[in-house]
Every structure is written in C-alpha cells, then in structure tokens.
Amino acid sequence: MKLYSIIQKEALSGGLLRPSEKSKGHRTKTLFAGMALFGLALSLSAQEEPIDSLEGTKVVLDEVLVQSIRITKDFPITFSDLDKVELAPRNLGQDIPILMNFMPAVVTTSDAGAGIGYTSMRVRGSDATRVNVTINGIPYNDAESHGTFWVNMPDFASSTQSLQLQRGVGTSTNGAGAFGASLNMLTDAFSEEAYAKISSSVGSFNTLRSNVKFSTGLMNDHFEFSGRLSRVTSDGYVDRASSELESYFLQGTYKDDNTLIKALLFGGHEITYQAWNGITADQLEDNRTYNSAGEYTDDNGNTQYYENEVDNYKQDHFQLHWYETWNSAWNTHLAVHYTRGRGFFEQYREEDDFATYGLEPFTVNGELVETTDLIRRRWLDNDFYGTVFSATYKSESLELIMGGGYNEYKGDHFGEIIWAEYARNSEIRDRYYDDNSTKTDINFYTKVNYQLTDQWSLFGDVQYRGVGYQANGEDTGLVDDTFNFFNPKAGVTFDLNRNNNFYFSYARANREPNRNDYESGSPKPEKLNDFELGWRYVSPSFQLNTNVYYMRYKDQLVLTGGLNDVGAPLRSNVGDSYRLGLEIDANVTLSNSFKWRPNIALSDNRNLDYFFERDGELQDLGNTNIAFSPKLIAGNIITYQPNTNFQVSLLSKFVGKQYMGNIDSEGSALDSYTQTDFNIQYTINMNSFIKSIELSGLVNNIFDADIVSNGYFYTFDDDYSNPGTITTIEGAGYYPQAGINFLVGATINF
C-alpha cells in the first residue's frame, strides 16, 4: 500500500482530524507538514480544498497547472512544501524569501534589513541566480541575469496557494537549469464560494501593508473571477532604504468536469531607495544603519543626500493556461505567457569623467574641465514571452510526462544623462550607451515513474535544452553563443513498509553563463552531477525526512564576493568543486496542542585545488571553502495551538560562519548568527456580514541579535605604496539586518 494512502487513512480514522472536521459533509483533503508530500509542508492542521472527480480520479484542479514539474514522495527527489495556511500567520508584508527563511538549507537576506524591498535567498549555498523559479510552471528568473527580483512582486504571498522547493537539481523544469534548487509556485486556486477580505498591517520602520482581495465564487458552476490589490511602504532599517511598492493580481477561471482554463494578469511597480553599497567593518560597530547611496558634497562643503537615488521598475505578467482531461489516463496542459518589464535606477554621480559618457573636455578660464557632477538613469526595457506544454499519462503502475517549452527574451539596455553641471554639446537624456540582447530557450523533456512492484518504483527523466544568447554591450562585449545541453536523471524508490520509504537518484545538469559573467571574459557553461540518497519515515505523530547529497561541479560559476558597478554579484569559473551535505527535517506532534518542526543542514562545500594570485605570485591554496556556503544551517518551529482559532509559534534560525570569498580569508568571514521570531494569530468568528476577523502579530529577532547575513569581498593589487613590490589589499562590505522589530495586522473576511 502506498504511504500517502496510509496517511490519508490514518488521518481520517486515527484521530488526526478534530471531531468537528471529521463530521463535515464534503470531502476533506489533509495536508501534513513533512507528511502528505513528505517534504516540509509545515502544517499539521487539516484544511479543506475543493476536490473534483475526473472520471473516477481525484484531482485538485489548480494543482494540475504545475504537476509536470512538481513531485510527490513517489519520486526520488529531495523537496519541501509550504502552503498558504502556513504562510498566513506571518504574511504581514515581508517578501517570499523571508517567509521561506525557516525551510531546510535556506538562508535569506534583505538589503534594507527589514525583509521588504530587495530580498533574496540562498539554498545549499547557491545564490538566487542558481535557484530556478517558476510561477504556475512559467519561468520567472530574469532570462539574462538569472536573478529573481521579488521586489517586482510585492505581497505576492497573498496570492500564493502553495510552493514547492526542490533542493538539488530536482526534476526537469522550464527556464534555466537548477544548480542549487528549484522553486515551483502555484497561485490562488479558484474559490467555490464568493468572498471578500481587507487586510492591513503596520510595524517598525513605518511599515504599512494594505490589500483587498475578492472572488465572485463559482458562477453557473463554471466561471470564477478573483483579484487582489496591494500597497506596501516601509522606510527600511537602513537609512533612507525606503520602499514604495504596489501590485495587483487578477484571475479568471473556467472549469467543467474535464477542463480548466485560467487567465491571469498580475504585476507590480516598485520604487526603492538604493541600499546596495553596504557598510565597512568600522561602521558595522558604530553606525549600522549608514547608507552611502546618494551621498554628495554641496558647494558649501556640506554632506547631502540625493532624494531620488532610487530603483524604479514596473513589471506585468500575463498567463493563459488550458488543462484538459481526455480520459482516465491522459491529460494535457498548454500555456502561453508574456512579461513586460521597464524601468531604471537613478544615481547622483560626483566628478565623473567626461570620457565615460562620450562628452568632450573644454576649457573654462584657462582650466581644462574633464569631470562633472551629473545625474544618470540606467534603463532596462524588456519583453519575455513563450509557451510551455505537457501531456501526462497515468495508469496503476505508470506515470509518463512529456513536455517542454519555447521562450524568447528581448532586452534593451541604455543610459541617460538627465542633468549635468557641465555638459557642452549635449541634450537632455542623451544616451551614453545603447545596446540590446536576445535570448532564446527551447527545451523538451520526458519523465517516467514506473511501479515495478508493490515496494519498488523506478524513475527516469531526460531533457534537451537549447539556448541562444546575443548581446552587444560594453560590459559584455559582442556575444553570440549557442548552447546545447542534455540533462538525464534517474532514480529508484523503495517502500520498505507502511512507515519507511527510501530513495536514490542521480541527475546531470548543465547551465549557461548569465549576462554579468561575460564582464570577466569568456565564461564556460557549468556542469553538475547530483547524487541524492534519502529516507522518509511517517507515522501519525512523527514524520522524518533525511537525505545525503553529493553535488560535483565542473566549471562551477561561484560567487567571487565582488560586485559590479550596479551592485550585481560577480562570478567566475573555478574548475572542479563539490558540495556534500546531510539534511534532516522532522515534524513531531508532542501533544494535541504542541507541535515541533526542527530541521538541520550540515555541509562541506569546496573548491578543489584553488589558485589565487596574491602579492604578485600565483599561489595554490588547495581546497578552499566555496563563498557564501555555511557548514551548518538549522531551523526550528515550536507551535502551541490549543484550538483552531488561536496559535502561537516560536521560530529560530541558526546560520554558521561563512566566507564571502573563496580564499578562506578571515577578512571575508561573516560570523554565525541566530535569529528568533515570535508569531501569534487569533481568529474571531462572527455570525454576521463579517464572517471573521484574523489578528496576527510578528516580532522579528526578539533577542535583538546583531545579524549580518550578506556582504561582499574584494581584493586588488597595490603597487604604489612600496615601489617595486605588489601588495594584495583586501576589503569587505556588510549588509546588517534589523534588530528587534515588529509587525501587527488584521484581516476582515466578508
């Protein structure tokens, strides 16, 4: 018998559902943290979801949008799940990476220090450019930089039904290859019943989040229309690191017994004061909130700050999905998508060289003028569009998925001067650079999961991916590259008995360089062989997930610790490297009211035979630690829930020491830290026009720890101090996170 079926049976008959929930007249699907899908679905409370029977097969219709790239415990893949029920108590305006902070092997950070604005995460030491993100199966990572800019989708958690984090290579998916993890997000399911809700939260640093959501419910048994409008503002923990964020989400759904069609339009507009400069070690001690962005000296010698040193960007997404069940065995999914992005970041620059902007020097009162103060805007105007598709065949012993996608990206990069102190022979908004880029990405994959016996199942997955990239920027040079990747995956799953499940998998992945990698020359594509060995144990009161991984890289593009002139992390090929780790997460029911959810990730992350030029000589440093890869990451959640209306959670996260560079320099070290949060939620049920009022509170970093979760590290050769010798100088910058701070909110449900 399959473990998932056992869980359902035990849940319905073994007392895991409360009596009031057992007596409901319609079907109930129970989602368990670390149980129902054997990841970390972090919710032991039962929840109801609409379940439709399609010719005898139970299907949650909205889940089919991502079923070609999501997996269950029947697959030999390491993964964790997080649903909207678990997100809700802490969803008070912070970005999705911050809400994912307590998942296994995840490290999060925020430029502004408060979890709003520019935020990011690393998984198994791999940065955001190596975490493949899809929304309903549609690629979200920027096609050129591979980055994920959550600031463009503020309050998106309020429209997220669930997410799945596959650590390692995972299964074949759309978009750039996953080299640390893949994150598959599913937006709101359609609602059978009409509803409306108003939410608002306030907190430290003048944070204010407001949103409204609604649904018409299912009209004429076929149609539903829903939407959300949000606004989030915050001053940020760091000086002037303010955020003004707006977003929207609109969805139209048609469904019948065999068809699901969804049209989605969502997007956001962000205006964020820049905070990517970081601070020095001395400032970390005595001026943690200092922000040098926008700083200049006026004619009287006074320090001033330019008020519009901001990032200003808009992004709109359109998705159209068609899912069809043809019979009891076959279903298909076809989607088309289009993303429109445009915006700029604005900077005040002191005494910039004329040559940088193509301006001619001139003479004033006999003196040659070659520099000027100016204000510039650097623009990105892009379009991303394409299609993804899949067909799934299911029988009692076989699941076959065939799919793929074609996506195309067109980007215009240009810079404008909007003001200059000295600017002869120039016009307003002169473009001092103007280049463009094009990227095409086509992939086809086939996945097979075959039930060999009652205990053994076999998994196979092959993908072809072809990438073409052309660019002509001054930073990239002339680029015209084509990549052809073949990515096979295979694994086996063994159900020992009703409680124990084992798996082993191998996955091969290849990945192209991103735009910033070309700044350093001619980068090589990366290659990865990923081995995963796991054990899952489940019982009604205790669930355990344990896995060991070995990820061996060739030409891995690791973070150097440095940043380019727009604050983007720089990477370089390092030859041979590996990541070896052990991950454990558990879900323990201590009593009817107490639940405990710990996780720990131990790892060794190494560059093999790393060479570095120091003091003018090439040195063999041997095996060094890979940048931004702590050896120990641990999370912990203890929840007290005496009834369905009230819960209190204590959440903690430990991140071990990590280096920001690859030479094991203590000058590049980030100290270990522990963050502890307190979360409370109380629901007031009302028998009136207002159905309920949900009150939530979140205190972050309750012990006021000094946390630095990110930074940068650089070296340069100094041959001026001591003529005839070369001395390598090191430097570092740091991004401090806020001390104790709070958010409180209320949601009124109609």
In the block, tokens 């069609």 appear at 261
Per residue in 397-408, pLDDT tens? 999 999 999 999
Mean pLDDT calculated for residue range 26-54: 31
Q: What is the DSSP letter of 515?
A: G
Burial class (CB in 10 A: 0-12, 13-18, 19+), 598: middle
Interval 154-184: pLDDT, tens: 999 999 999 999 999 988 888 877 888 999 9
CA dist., res. 313 & res. 386, Å (int): 22
DSSP helix/strand/coil, 227: strand
Interatomic CA distance for residues 367 and 191, integer angstroms: 72
At residue 745, φ and ψ (nearest 5 deg) are -150, 165
Among candidate residues 625, 609, 623, 614, the one with its CA nearest the CA of residue 666: 625
Query: Strand (E) positions, 103-222?
Result: 106-110, 119-123, 131-135, 138-139, 160-167, 181-187, 195-203, 207-215
pLDDT digits (tens, 9 = 90+) for 672-699: 999 999 999 999 999 889 999 999 999 9
Give the single-character DSSP code of 84: H
Domains delineated in the chain: 3-749 (2.40.170.20)
Q: What is the pLDDT of residues 409-446, one digit of tens each?
A: 999 999 999 998 887 777 777 889 999 999 999 999 99
The DSSP line for 287-306 is -TT---TTEEE-TTS-EEE-
d(CA 542, CA 152): 39
pTM of the model as a whole: 0.88
Q: What is the 3-state secondary structure (H, E, C) of 528-547?
A: EEEEEEEEEEECCCEEEEEE
End-to-end Cα distance, the chain? 43
Angstrom distance (rounded) from CA 524 to CA 483: 10
HSE-up of 407 (CA within 13 Å, CB side)? 28
Q: Other CB atoms closer than 10 Å to residue 666's CB: what's the count?
A: 8
Question: Cα Rg for the chain, rounded, in angstroms?
Answer: 26
3-state secondary structure of 155: coil
pLDDT digits (tens, 9 = 90+) for 524-555: 999 999 999 999 999 999 999 999 999 999 99
Task: Judge contact between 431 and 382, C-beta under 8 A.
Answer: no
**Which pLDDT band holds residue 62 (cuts at 50, 70, 90)?**
low
Task: Look at residue 12 in the predicted model and tell me its pLDDT.
Answer: 29
375 close to 348: Cβ distance less than 8 angstroms: yes
Residue 6 pLDDT exceeds 60: no
Residue 652 token pair: 């903690």
pLDDT digits (tens, 9 = 90+) for 246-268: 999 999 999 998 999 999 999 99
* Dist. CA 280–CA 236, nearest whole Å: 19
